[in-house]
Structure 1
Amino acid sequence: MKRLPNLLTLFRVLMIPALVLVYLIPGPLGNWFAFSIYTLAAITDYLDGWLARKLKATSEFGRMLDPIADKLMVVAVLIILIEFRDISGIHTLAAGLIIMREILISWFREYLTDRGVTLAVSQIAKYKTTIQMIALGVLLLGEAGDMISPFVKDSGLVLLWVATLFTIWTAIDYLSKGTAALKMKK
C-alpha cells in the first residue's frame, strides 16, 4: 500500500501517450476519450498526494516524480491543443508562458534543493493548478464541447488566461521567496 501513491504517479505519466493517441481520433469521440483520460489523470494527481499523506508514504522519489508528471501532462496537452489549433493566435502566448513557467520553476526548485532550500507549494500555486487543469480539460473537449455549447471553447480560453495570470503570479512568488531563502542561507 505504501507504493500506491508512486504507482499512481507513474500511471499518470503513462497516460500521456494514451491521451495524445486518442486525441488523434477524428471528431468528438477523440475529444471525449482525451477528456476522460485527462480527467482520470487529474484525479490521480489529487489521489497520489492524499494517499501519500494518509498512508504516511511520502518519499523522495514521489516528491521528485509528482511535479514532473504534472508538468509533462500540462506541456503535452498544451502542445496537442496548439497543434490541432484548439489554442491559436494570441492564446498561444498564454500556453507559451505556462510552459516557460513550468520549466523555469521546476529548474529553480531543484536548484534550491541542491542548496538545501525547500519551498512548500503555496496555496496560490494550488489554485493555479486547479484552474489550469479545468481550462485544459475544457479545451480538450474541442468539437465535443462545441456540441454542448458554443461558449465551451471560449470559456476554456478565458480560464487559460486566468491560469496564465496565476502562473505569472506564482512564478514571481517562488522566485522572490527562493531568492530570499538563498540570501538567508549565506
Structure 2
Amino acid sequence: EPMLVRAALLSLPLHLQLPSLPREVSHSTLDASGRSHALPCSIGQLYIGSLRLNSDTTRMCAPATSAWRRMLPNALTVGRVITIPLLAAAYYTPRTAHTRLAAAMFAFLSLTDLVDGYLARKWSVQSDFGAFLDPVADKLLVCTVLLLLSGSLGAIVSLPAALIVCREIGISALREWMAIRGAHATVAVGWSGKLKTATQMSALQLLLLSLSAASGMTSPIRRLGIALLYISAALTAYSGMQLVERACAALGPEDSRRSQQ
C-alpha cells in the first residue's frame, strides 16, 4: 500500500509534486475555533493539507502545544496564592531581615503575575480557570500586604488601604453581576485600572523595603511609597467610578430602577 501511494504521487506532473521536507519542519493548521497550531513534522512523513501519511497509517497531525505549556501559567497563579501566607509568616518572623525577605517575596510574586499572563498569551493557552484565578490572586496579595503594613505604619497607611480594599471587593461583586447578565465586557480593565495596579504594586514594594531602614518615617523610600499609595487610592476611586458608570449605562432603564431599590 505505501508503494502504491508513492507511485501515484510520482506519476503527478512536476509542478504538483511536493517539495522535499527538511528533517524537522513546522506545519500549521487551524482548529475549530480558527486558532493556529504548529504541528511538528519529521522526515519520511508526507503532508497533504493537514493529513500526515506514513508507512503505517494515515492520521491527523496532533497540535504541538505541550501539556506543560498549558499548565505552567495556571501553576504560577496557584503558586502565587499558596505563597501569600508564607509572605505573611516571613513578615512576622522575629529577625532583623524579616522585612527584606517579605519584600523579596512580594517582588517575586508580582513578577509571576506578569509572567503567567505573558506566557498564556504567547502560547495561546488562555483558560477560563486562569481568567478567574489571576485577578483573585492579585487582590489577595494586595489586601494581605495592605493589612500587614497597616498594622506596622498605622493610620497613614490604613486609611488608603481601607478605600482600596472596599473598592476591590465592590468591583469584584460588580463584575460577577455583569457576567451573570452577559455584559462582562463593559467592566473590563481600562487604562486607569492598569495605572492603578502599577502604582499600587510600586507603593507596596517601597513600603516593605522602607521598614528595614533605620530612618523610619523620614526615609525617602517610605515617603515615596506613601505618596504612591495615596495616588493609587485616588486612581482606585476614579477607576471604580468609571466601571460603575459603564455598568449603569449597559443596563436598561428597568434594570437601573431595580438596582436602586
How far apart are the structure 1 equivalents of 2:188 and 2:165?
A: 21
- Please state how far the C-alpha of 1:144 moved relative to its aligned partner: 1.8
The Cα RMSD (Å) is 2.0
- Please state how far the C-alpha of 1:89 moved relative to its aligned partner: 2.1
TM (norm. structure 2) is 0.66
Contact 1:146 1:152 in 2 (8 A): no
Unaligned runs of 5+ in 2: 1-68, 256-261
Which is greater in Rg? Answer: 2
Q: Does 1:121 align with 2:189?
A: yes
- The structure in which a higher percent of residues are strand is 2
Contact 1:23 1:31 in 2 (8 A): yes
| Secondary structure, aligned partner of 2:212 | helix
- Please state how far the C-alpha of 1:185 moved relative to its aligned partner: 11
Identity %: 37
Distance verdict in 2 for CA 1:147–1:48, change over 3 Å: farther
Alignment of 1:79-98 (within 5 A): 79-83=147-151, 85-86=152-153, 88-98=154-164
How far apart are the structure 2 equivalents of 1:174 and 1:92?
A: 24
The residue that corresponds to 1:175 in the other structure is: 244
The residue that corresponds to 1:59 in the other structure is: 127
The residue that corresponds to 2:100 in the other structure is: 32
How far apart are the structure 2 equivalents of 1:140 and 1:91?
A: 12
TM (norm. structure 1) is 0.92
The residue that corresponds to 1:161 in the other structure is: 230
The residue that corresponds to 1:70 in the other structure is: 138
How far apart are the structure 2 equivalents of 1:126 and 1:40?
A: 19
Q: Does 1:109 align with 2:178?
A: no
Structure 1 residues 149-170: Cα deviation after superposition (integer angstroms, max 9, x where no partner)? 8211111111110000110011
How far apart are the structure 2 equivalents of 1:68 and 1:102?
A: 10
- The structure in which a higher percent of residues are helix is 1
How far apart are the structure 2 equivalents of 1:112 and 1:152?
A: 40
